[in-house]
Amino acid sequence: MAAYFLCLVLFSIGLYCVLRKRNLIKIVVGLGIIEYAVNLFFALVGYRARGRAPILSADQVISNMVDPIPQALVLTAIVIGLAVTALIVAIAIKIYEKYGTFDITKINKLKG
Amino acid sequence: MNTAPLFVIIPLGTAFLVSLVGKYYKRSSDVFSNVACCILLGLSFYTLSIIRNIPTHLLVYKIGGWAPPVGISMVIDSLSVFMLVTVNLIAFLVTVYSVDYMNKYTDKWKFYTLFMLMLTGMNGVIITGDLFNMFVFLEIASIASYALVAFGTESEELEASFKYAVMGSVASSFILLGIAVLYSYTSTLNMADMALSLTAKGPAKILPFVSVLFLMGFGLKAALVPFHAWLPDAHPSAPAPISAMLSGVLIKSLGVYALARILFNVFGVTDVILSILMFLGALSMLVGVFLAVGQWDFKRLLAYHSISQIGYVVLGIGLGSPLGICGGLFHLFNHSIFKSLLFLNSGAIVYSVGTRDLHAMGGLREKMPVTANTSLVASMSIAGIPPFNGFFSKLIIIFACVQSGHFGYAFWAVVGSVLTLASFMKVQRYAFFGALGKKRQDVKEVPLAMQISMAILAVICLVASTLVLPAFSDFVTSAAAVLSGGKEYANLVSGAFK
């Protein structure tokens, strides 16, 4: 239970970071923290205490095993997260070239 | 032949091919993308005709031959095929338009690669029968669209793209969190299987929680009002063909379709969710149109109208009655036609005149007759003037509001429509009528391919009105029947796999 609670804390820290920080790179770091919190939660969903790897062989009696699906899904989600982070960092670098700053209060050509 | 996997394979293959050879043979990227989109359009009409002849109106495909819930499945029903026709129709006309329009940018092949990836994602979201697979396709479409918004790499475009990307990834995280919670409760990811499992377990306390997560996530993708802040920056900043795709189909397939599919067919919609949808719909409808009236940037004005019109769609679907869902889906189709047309018109003005500011236009009617007339048709459609398609879908939504006893929403829908008319009269007055400025004497009409693409969309604006006739209404009503059927979907799909 404590692990789930810490997941929530991590998620909230990430959200706070995205919402409150003024530096573009810190916002990207915040996004990363949110992604990690969700991935951690997903991995926890499949966790079983003292479970073993779900490998099927002829003479095995399977009693308590870890659910492998969330791990596969988390791997996919990490790869997607990597793509998004790479793209956003690339955009942030181009913004720095154009505006000469990472401060979002100074990057305000759009009214939005 | 089972056409389901082709909707993902063809655009994905084209993206790969274009990225390989597009750099070396200049025209190849144009040819490949246009041919691929033409084939996809043909395939979606072919699928439409197949689906009608199957008694269950259902086409399923097991990826790799693994039966669900173990393997990933693709499911095409009447609603999916309705969305497929909409998406691929717009995509085809937009690629025809891009051939000339995108000449002003360098590296056209990169544009086509990203465009095809975005199309892959949208088609994938529409046909998948698996929740996590839907998330993956949604991310493919989203990442491609983040990059496309920044395609011009000017400072405004980069800023808009950064904003869009940050908000979009937070939304995706909420969606992934919702999927994780659902998986932990039902131990399955297949949507039909999940719906059956949720029914078997009885009323669940987590459903409201997950519904809210999905409302936030997909609501942001659909730009419903509290989550709309990215849209008025992102859509105008993209190149015009991409604005047409984003406003025309991306917010609908990623946002409205995915949300409606999950809430109606997997969760089984409740009155609370319906009233939230109606409220958000009406709110977007009004806030969008109020913000749009004061805009002088043509594309930004159109972007605010997208928020407003998506509000009509969600209001219609949120009514939950068969007539309301019909009206909502019909408006979804119509909006994707006339809003893409309007964005293509704005692109034509940028192409010929080089400005998006309505003050700086005026009198373009005599120099650009095709653009002026098609935009007049689109403006009348979006404002709801008969006999154009927008009139009929708005009328159906308002009727459905009255029929369900929501007189307040019906009133606000009328108010929104009147304000839409006002703001498009402004557009017509300042852009196309009036006196031509001295500097504008040498303005030319856009190239032929762009004219053809706009003209076809304008004709569809008129022809789509016939969808209200009983002979043709099956296209929309059968799609609406899938949503109003609710959890019947699960039984049909799991029956089809046996």
Do B155 and A98 lie within an 8 Å CB cutoff? yes
What is the sign, positive or negative, of the torsion defined by CA atoms of B22, B25, B30, B31? negative
State the best of B140, B151, B173 to mutate against chain A, taking most chain A CBs within 10 Å.
B173
Q: pTM (2 decimals)?
A: 0.94
How far is the first Cα of chain A from the last one, in angstroms, to the nearest whole number?
Answer: 41
Q: Which residues of B touch A56 (CB under 8 A)?
A: none
* Interface predicted TM-score of the whole assembly (ipTM), two decimals: 0.94
- pLDDT, tens digit, 9 for 90 and up, residues B131-178: 999 999 999 999 999 999 999 888 889 999 999 999 999 999 999 999
Provide the phi-psi class of B357: left if phi over 0, else alpha when psi is between -120 and 50, else beta. beta
| 3-state class (DSSP) for residue B75 | strand
Q: Which residues of A touch B153 (CB under 8 A)?
A: 94
Chain A closest CA to B119's CA: distance in Å? 17
What is the residue whose two structure tokens read 């009727």? B399
The answer, for B150 touching chain A at a CB cutoff of 8 Å, is: yes
- Sorted by where each starts, the structural domains of chain A and their CATH numbers stand as 2-49+65-99 (1.10.287.3510)
- Compute the distance between CA of residue B322 and CA of residue B337 in angstroms, rounded to an integer: 23
In a domain, B306, yes or no: yes
The answer, for B157 touching chain A at a CB cutoff of 8 Å, is: no
Which structural domain, as residue segments, surrounds residue B277?
6-497
Chain B closest CA to A60's CA: distance in Å? 22
Closest Cα in chain B to A97:
B155
Looking at the DSSP bridge assignments, the partners of residue B357 are B297
Q: Which residues of A touch B176 (CB under 8 A)?
A: 38, 42, 77
- Name the amino acid, one letter, at B245: M
pLDDT in single tens digits along all 112 residues of chain A: 888 999 999 999 999 999 999 999 999 999 999 999 999 999 998 888 888 777 777 777 777 888 888 999 999 999 999 999 999 999 999 999 988 888 888 887 776 5
Do A18 and B177 lie within an 8 Å CB cutoff? no
Chain A closest CA to B147's CA: distance in Å? 7
| 3-state class (DSSP) for residue B74 | strand
On the 0-12 / 13-18 / 19+ scale of CB atoms within 10 A, A76 is middle
The answer, for B53 touching chain A at a CB cutoff of 8 Å, is: no
Q: Which residues of B touch A76 (CB under 8 A)?
A: 132, 136
- Compute the distance between CA of residue B96 and CA of residue B343 in angstroms, rounded to an integer: 14
- Please answer whether residues A64 and A48 qualify as being in contact, where contact means their C-beta atoms are separated by less than 8 angstroms: yes
* Token pair for B93: 């006309």
Question: Residue B419: which of B299, B291, B279 has the closest Cα?
Answer: B291
What is the sign, positive or negative, of the torsion defined by CA atoms of B379, B384, B386, B391? positive
pLDDT at A111: 62
The answer, for B162 touching chain A at a CB cutoff of 8 Å, is: yes
For residue B345, how many other CB atoms are within 10 A of its CB? 33
Report angle CA B128, B16, B71 to the nearest 5 degrees.
Answer: 30
In a domain, B348, yes or no: yes
pLDDT at B338: 93
Q: Which residues of A touch B166 (CB under 8 A)?
A: 18, 27-28, 31, 88
- Compute the distance between CA of residue B279 and CA of residue B276 in angstroms, rounded to an integer: 5
In a domain, B187, yes or no: yes
Question: Residue B221: which of B182, B250, B180, B179 has the closest Cα?
Answer: B250
Question: Residue B197: which of B413, B492, B491, B450 has the closest Cα?
Answer: B491
* Token pair for A30: 């915040």
| 3-state class (DSSP) for residue A52 | strand
In a domain, B355, yes or no: yes
* Token pair for B292: 């749009």
Mean pLDDT by 10 residues, chain B (498 residues): 89 94 88 94 93 87 84 91 94 93 88 94 93 94 94 89 93 94 91 91 86 94 90 90 92 93 90 93 93 90 93 93 93 94 93 86 84 92 89 93 93 93 90 80 86 94 89 88 88 84
pLDDT at A103: 87
* Number of domains comprising chain B: 1
Q: Largest Cα–Cα distance in chain A? A: 68
- Name the amino acid, one letter, at A26: K
What is the residue whose two structure tokens read 């983040």? B146
Do A18 and B166 lie within an 8 Å CB cutoff? yes
Do B159 and A24 lie within an 8 Å CB cutoff? no
In a domain, B1, yes or no: no
